[in-house]
Amino acid sequence: MKKTMIMQINKAKADENARLSYAITKGREEGLEQGQNKERIAIARNSLKTGLSMEQISLITGLDNDVIKKLKAEQE
């Protein structure tokens, strides 16, 4: 009985560690994605300032034309 309880406790700890590990990994991935998106927007803003076309900026950054139009409107 004591051995079974210890095994259950160890399993519960392992399950909790797995959940925490997943949450940490997921949080890092989301943070990285947000940082990459901010960088693409910064590149688009700078590219607009240099006079590149929206199509060129879209090709460079991978951003939607609608997003680039909004950024352009903000600069005007």
Average pLDDT over residues 44-59: 97
Average pLDDT of 5-13?
85
Q: Report the share of the chain in percent with pLDDT over 70.
A: 100
Which ranges of the chain does DSSP label H, i.e. alpha helix?
2-50, 54-61, 65-75
Return the SS3 of 63. coil
Model confidence, pTM: 0.73
pLDDT on residue 3:
77
Q: Are 48 and 68 in contact (CB under 8 A)?
A: yes
Q: What is the mean pLDDT of residues 22-32?
A: 95
Q: Are 61 and 43 in contact (CB under 8 A)?
A: yes
Q: Which residues, other chains included, contact 58 with Cβ-Cβ below 8 Å and sequence gap of 6+?
A: 64, 65, 68
